[in-house]
Amino acid sequence: MEQIRVMVVDDSVVVRKIVTDVLSEDPMITVVGTAPNGRLAVAKLEQLKPDLVTMDIEMPEMNGIEAVRAIRSRAGGQAYSRVPIIMFSTLTERGASATLDALSAGANEYVTKPANVGSVAQSMESVRQQLIPKIKALTGRPQTSGPAAAPVASPVAVRPPVARTRAPREPAVLVIGSSTGGPEALTKVLPLLPASLPVPVLLVQHMPPVFTRQFAQRLDRLCPLTVVEATDGSPLVPGTVHIAPGDFHLTVGTSGANKRTALNQAPPENFCRPAVDVLFRSAVAAFDGAVLGVVLTGMGSDGRIGAGQIRDAGGTVVAQDQATSVVWGMPGAVAQAGFADEVLPLDRIAEAIVRLLPTPRPAASFAAARAAAPMGGRR
């Protein structure tokens, strides 16, 4: 198997060396070149022919966001206009905002820069653990362990849904899980859902603290629905989306007939906190299986076990298809296990959600929502 060709873009000589040294240790990866700013990175694309680019955000002459836009807008769909790009970010409000801007501009994923870790060795280990699995996932190379284990590169036949052991139930809650590519996917699904959605929504997007709060605020500006970062003890009401905060599992707490959000820092599952499986399992228990689960693009297999539990309890599961997923890890694991009732392209997910929930809206109303969505949400 050919090595993965990576170009490292960062204005810091120290960071370039750390990233280059870490990547060069992996026999599947070769660093074909570096650049100190976005302008030179764009100029070097055709010459270096990388399979993937790591991109800093704050750089002189052309920053990372501008570079992503320049690469994605190359006239005529030139070679390397779709090269996977992983952003390097900081765990700050400014860093989170800039990273979300970069993802909106067309970046595929991000990693956080090591901060206050104490030594070069610790910095290298932080980069190693975050970056290498994502490089392999985005380039479709196999993994044997870790959060990006066994991504699927070539087209795979979808397994028919396994036989149900319990009659389907009308959903009383919508739960969504996503990871790599999820921020962009969610901005194409949630704005098409009506404010009159008849059930509450709980969502796990694999993101660190600070990022989830800013992401919720951005989605809230785009959507007819109300979108918030989940807090402990909030009542679950129709038309509100609760996004799991970074580093906290999101579950459903029950007090009599009342359902509320509940947060905890129990151990990670599937290398993740928040974890999709934790949310799905909790929703099944709280709503006695009356659950609609949606699994969108993401690396790894988080959500597979929970999707199986949803179907076993009488719920319904929808998974994003391989062709429209940035990484067909999570939805692929669900589909290949036979836990998906429907496997759909991204542009059909919102319509399926509306159709599968109680009292679906007329088709004409959904078409109107689709037409209006690019103009923004309720604000």
> Which one of the listed residues 56, 101, 126, 206 is annotated catalytic?
206
Token digits for 287? 């709503």
Question: How many Å apart are CA 259 and CA 85, to the nearest integer?
Answer: 40
Token digits for 195? 């404010």
Parallel/antiparallel/unpaired status of strands 52-56 and 249-255: unpaired
Nearest Cα to 351, choosing from 336, 361, 338? 361
Is 288 part of the annotated catalytic residue set? no
> Which one of the listed residues 89, 179, 301, 325 is annotated catalytic?
179
- Provide DSSP, 163-219: PPSS-----SEEEEEE-TTHHHHHHHHGGGS-TT-SS-EEEEE---TTHHHHHHHHH
CB atoms within 10 A of CB 295: 32
Is 302 part of the annotated catalytic residue set? yes
> Which one of the listed residues 277, 302, 321, 341 is annotated catalytic?
302
Is 365 part of the annotated catalytic residue set? no
Parallel/antiparallel/unpaired status of strands 258-264 and 249-255: antiparallel
Burial readout 119-150 (b: 16 or more C-beta within 10 A, e: otherwise): eeeebbebbbebbbbbbbbbbebebeeebbbe
Using left for φ > 0, alpha for ψ between -120 and 50, and beta otherwise, residue 305 falls in alpha
Nearest Cα to 151, choosing from 297, 6, 349, 42? 297
Looking at the annotation, which residues are catalytic? 179, 206, 302
